[in-house]
Amino acid sequence: MFHATGNESGPSTPTSTSSSSSSMQWSQLCRHFEFGEILSATESFAESLVIGRGGFGKVYKGNIYNGSTLVVAAIKRLDAMSNQGASEFWAEVEMLSKLRHCHLVSLIGYCNYETEMILVYEYMPHGTLEDHLHKLGTPLTWCERLMICIGAARGLDYLHTGTGIEFGIIHQDVKSSNILLDESWAAKVSDFGLSKISPRNQQSSHVSTLVKGTFGYFDPNYFATGKLTTKSDVYAFGVVLLEVLCRKMAVDDSLDWGIATWAQDSIKEGRLKDIIDSAIRSEISPKCLKQFVRIAERCLDNHPKLRPTMAEVVLSLEYVLKLQENTNNVSHSASKTIFGRMFNKFSFTDNGQNSGITNSQFICA
C-alpha cells in the first residue's frame, strides 16, 4: 500500500528548523502530531501493526486522537533507506492539505521530528485495487470494477480541473496500488509525493521534469520528451483500465511486453475476448465491452492531444456502466418472465462473494 517511486525536487522542503512557517500554514488544514502520539498509536512501530510497504517505507494501522475523537488511521513512516525524501513528504502534505474530495484519500495530519517524517491518513479498510486484482483474487463483478474505475476517474478529474484554485494538479504516479478502497469499496486516489502543479492558465500546458513514476504506467510521450501534462495521468489510467479488464499486472511476467502493448496488439489481432479476465467474461455485454475498450485505447493514444480529458473518461465510463446495468435489467426481466413467482421466492444471492458496492457510494457529501 502507498507505493511511489522516484526522487524528485518539488516544492520547498522545510527542515526541522526552517519549517515553522510552512507548518503553521498547513496546520490550519491538517494537524501536526507530536512524535509521542505516533509512538503510542503504532505501539512504537510494532511489526504486528504493519499493513503495507512501499517505496516510502512502512504503513501502520493505529488508533490516534484527531482532536477529541479517536480514529483509525494509516500511518506512513519514511524509511531512512528510502529513495524518497523530504521533497516528496512535504509535497504530499502541501497537496493534501489543500484538497478535499470524496475520491481522494484524506490526510489527517503529519509529524516531522528530527529525522522522522510521518504522514497520517484516514484508514482504508479494503486496501488497494492492486491487492484485489493481483494478490487476493477478490471476486469483483464487472459492474463493481466499473464503479471503482469511475470513482478513481472522478478523483483524477478533480485534481486536473476541479480544485477551485487557479492551477490544476498532475498526479504523476497513477496506478492500481495508488487507488485505495474504503469501507464501502469506494475508490480513493492516494500518494501525492510526485504530484506537480499544472500551469493550466499559462501559455505553457506542461511541466518539464525528470521522468518519475512507475514502470508500466509511463506515458511514452512524457518518457521521450520530459514534458509532463495531465494527459500523462490519462495514459496511466488507461493502463489501470486494462488491468481491471484483463486482471493482469501492468508489467506481467506472463507477457513479453507491458499490458498496454500486449492488450493493444491482441485487440488489433481480433483476440479481444481472449484477454478478458475469465471470471467476468460472461458478465460483459458486447456493446459494453466495445465501449470500454474504446475508452482504454483513447487513453493510451501515443499523441497526448488525442487522449480524452479525465472529465470525458468519467462520462464515458458512466455511460458504459449504464449500458451494462440496462443489459442486466433486461436479463433479470426475462428471468422473471420465465420463472414467475419462483424468482421472488428464492433470492438470487452471491453467497458472500459480492463486495457490496452500490451506486450511492459515488455521491459526495
Residues annotated within the binding site for ATP are 76
- Strand partners for 70: 65
Distance CA 179, CA 190 (A): 6
Q: Binding site, residues? A: 76
Residue 127 CB partners (closer than 8 Å, separation 6+): 1, 51, 52, 180, 181
Tell me the CA distances in angstroms from 236 to 153, 217, 250, one per residue in order.
11, 5, 10
Buried b (16+ CB within 10 A) or exposed e, 281-302: eebbbeebbebbbebbbbbbbe
Residue 55 CA to residue 78 CA, distance in Å, equals 9
Residue 27 Cα to chain centre, angstroms: 25
How many DSSP H helices and E strands does the chain contain? 12, 12
Distance CA 330, CA 58 (A): 48
Beta strands in 79-122 (DSSP E): 107-113, 116-122
The residues with which 180 forms a beta bridge, in sequence order, are 128, 188
C-alpha cell at 13: 522542503
- Decide if 173 is catalytic: yes
- Sign (positive/negative) of CA torsion 143, 148, 151, 152? negative
The residue from 79, 131, 157, 173 that is catalytic is: 173
d(CA 233, CA 240): 11
Q: 250: which 3 cell numbers?
A: 501492468
Q: Which residues are catalytic?
A: 173
